[in-house]
């Protein structure tokens, strides 16, 4: 009896593994196989088999049923990569492009450069006729793995669907002129300041947008110039209704950002104060799409002190500590790692991760995962913050070889006993 039991259990495991492989190869399961998977996923506490069950339903052209499962899994396991990928695939099947893109970009936050997320994002771009964006996603996959069959097929689809030759891309000057004209048609108050577009909001507020970033996004989408600038202008015109209308509403939504001194000129006219390590603290209203800095004029109009604004900003951020994840740094590319590597990241990706380092709540999370300070900190990527133990010289050396991105904070920093300090060149 014991021998037969062990044989039966082993057979069940092998059968389930065979079914799992069949699902992730994109094949449709038989009714018996689907029933076996359904029974197994009901008894597993983790997300793996539930996500596999949802993918099996997607393969069987039942994306709505798959989403019913995935929404529950995503709620219980918000950091599970496969769940976000499966949600993206289900939304693509339902032609819910915005929802698909949001879930896939979340997958990229969890695992930067993930080829599966990039390929499904390429599909979304192809369905939207965003040729340049689709090409960028496909190229990113093929640069890592030139033999990726799915990426090669997507490239062929792009060649068949897109115009014979992509039209010449308008320059940043042509793009800016078209965008300004679109804003004028909508009577949206605006001003050009060097490389920024400043849009005036109600009650003295302003939104500052980097023209190079706007132009690059336009290039990536491949949309016609008129369509692209009209979409941006319409959004900005709608946002010109202003900041939160009351003092309490503003205090409930303000968050701090960390910037270096090079940002002072660009941030002229907005609220700021000196921070640690030669850096500056700015303040922005919580917004998932635009960085909406709080202008100095709002303080007087709302009878609000800088101290009150600062206190509210840090309290709002303190209730949003994020997980610290192990990463792999391979020839400049960052990927999440299932096991410790000596390098970790704080990567919520909302622009406030550098500021989070100054919070005791976030420092407690880092201590629990990384170990006690001192830590070496890299702020050169605006989307995330890298951390390692200062005693880990090999990891420190890897951080020292990184170059700061255009909107990142250059230099080397140490975080020890709650205090952030800049390191002189001789100490780097």
* Residue 328: strand pairing partners: 335
337: left (phi over 0), alpha (psi -120 to 50) or beta: beta
Location of structure tokens 């993930």: 114
Side-chain-side CA neighbours of 286 within 13 Å: the count stands at 13
d(CA 168, CA 231): 20
Taking alpha carbons only, the member of 280, 275, 245 closest to residue 261 is: 280
pLDDT of residue 232: 82
pLDDT of residue 226: 78
pLDDT of residue 255: 94
Cβ contacts of 319 within 8 Å, gap of 6 or more = none
Q: Helix/strand/coil (H, E, C) string of the chain? A: CHHHHHHHHHHHHHHHHHHHHHHHCCCCCCHHHHHHHHHHHHCCCCCHHHHHHHHHHHHCCCHHHHHHHHHHHHHHCCCCHHHHHHHHHHHHHCCCHHHHHHHHHHHHHHCCCCHHHHHHHHHHHHHCCCHHHHHHHHHHHHHHCCCCHHHHHHHHHHHHHCCCCCCCCCCHHHHHHHHHHHHHHCCCCEEEECCEEEEECHHHCEEEEEHHHHHHHHHHHCCCHHHHHHHHHHHHHHHCCCCCCCHHHHHHHEEEEEECHHHCCCCCCECEEECHHHCEEEEEECCCCCCEECEHHHHHHCCCCHHHHHHHHHHHHHCCCCCEEEEEEECCEEEECCCCCCCEEECCCCCCHHHHCCCHHHHHHHHHHHCCCCEEEECCCCCCEEEEECCCHHHHHHHHCCCCCCCCCCCCEEEECCEEEECCHHHC
pLDDT of residue 407: 67
Whole-model pTM over 0.75 = no
d(CA 349, CA 387): 15
Does the domain at 2-161 match CATH 1.25.40.10? Answer given as yes
In the chain, where are the structural domains located?
A: 2-161, 167-242, 244-305, 324-427
Residues 203 and 298: beta-carbon distance below 8 Å: yes
pLDDT of residue 93: 87
pLDDT tens for the chain, residues 1 to 428: 444 434 344 446 677 778 878 887 778 888 888 888 888 876 677 788 888 888 888 888 888 888 888 888 888 888 888 888 889 988 988 888 888 898 999 988 888 889 999 999 999 988 888 887 888 888 888 878 878 888 888 988 887 877 655 556 778 888 888 888 888 776 667 888 878 888 776 545 677 888 888 888 787 766 777 778 887 876 776 565 455 667 888 899 899 999 988 888 766 677 899 999 999 999 988 876 567 788 776 787 678 899 999 999 999 999 877 889 898 877 667 788 888 999 999 888 778 899 999 999 999 999 999 999 999 999 987 668 999 999 999 999 988 888 777 667 888 899 999 999 998 754 54
pLDDT of residue 37: 82
* Residue 367: strand pairing partners: none
For 417, counting Cβ atoms within 10 Å of its Cβ (0-12 exposed, 13-18 middle, 19+ buried), the class is: exposed
Taking alpha carbons only, the member of 239, 236, 275 closest to residue 256 is: 275
Taking alpha carbons only, the member of 86, 32, 40 closest to residue 62 is: 86
pLDDT of residue 300: 75
pLDDT of residue 254: 92
Residue 68, token pair as written in the block:
């019913």
For 129, counting Cβ atoms within 10 Å of its Cβ (0-12 exposed, 13-18 middle, 19+ buried), the class is: middle
Residue 246, token pair as written in the block:
């009351």
């Amino acid at each position: 009896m014991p021998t037969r039991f062990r044989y039966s259990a082993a057979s069940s495991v092998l059968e389930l593994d065979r079914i799992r492989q069949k699902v992730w190869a994109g094949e449709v399961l038989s009714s018996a196989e689907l029933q076996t998977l359904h029974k197994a996923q009901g008894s597993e506490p983790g997300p793996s088999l539930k996500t596999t069950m949802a993918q099996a339903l997607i393969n069987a052209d039942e994306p709505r049923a798959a989403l019913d499962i995935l929404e529950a899994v995503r709620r219980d396991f918000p950091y599970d990569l496969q769940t976000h990928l499966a949600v993206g695939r289900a939304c693509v099947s339902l032609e819910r492009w915005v929802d698909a893109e949001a879930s896939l970009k979340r997958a990229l936050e969890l695992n930067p450069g993930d080829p599966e997320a990039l390929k499904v994002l390429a599909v979304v771009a192809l369905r939207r006729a965003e040729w340049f964006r689709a090409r960028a996603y496909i190229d990113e996959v093929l640069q890592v793995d030139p033999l990726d069959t799915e990426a090669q097929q997507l490239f062929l689809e792009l060649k068949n669907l897109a115009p014979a030759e992509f039209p010449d891309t308008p320059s940043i000057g042509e793009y800016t002129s078209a965008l300004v004209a679109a804003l004028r048609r909508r009577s949206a108050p605006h001003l050009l300041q060097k490389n920024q577009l400043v849009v005036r909001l109600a009650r003295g507020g302003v939104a500052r947008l980097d023209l190079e970033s706007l132009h690059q996004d336009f290039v990536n989408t491949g949309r016609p110039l008129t369509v692209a600038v009209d979409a941006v202008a319409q959004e900005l015109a709608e946002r010109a209704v202003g900041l939160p209308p009351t003092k309490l509403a503003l205090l409930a939504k303000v968050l701090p950002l960390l910037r270096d001194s090079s940002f002072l000129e660009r941030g002229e006219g907005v609220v700021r104060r000196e921070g640690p390590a030669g850096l500056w603290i700015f303040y922005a209203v919580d917004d998932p799409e635009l960085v909406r800095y709080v202008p100095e004029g709002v303080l007087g109009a709302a009878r609000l002190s800088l101290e009150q604004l600062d206190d509210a900003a840090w309290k709002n951020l303190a209730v949003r500590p994020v997980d610290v994840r192990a990463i792999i740094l391979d020839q400049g590319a960052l990927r999440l790692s299932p096991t410790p590597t000596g390098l970790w990241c704080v990567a919520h990706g909302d622009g406030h991760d550098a500021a989070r380092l100054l919070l005791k709540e976030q420092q407690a999370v880092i201590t629990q995962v990384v170990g006690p300070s001192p830590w070496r900190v890299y702020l050169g990527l605006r989307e995330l913050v890298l951390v390692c133990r200062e005693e880990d010289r090999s990891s420190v050396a890897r951080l020292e070889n990184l170059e700061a991105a255009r909107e990142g904070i250059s230099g080397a920093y140490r975080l020890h006993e709650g205090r952030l300090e800049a390191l002189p060149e001789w100490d780097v």
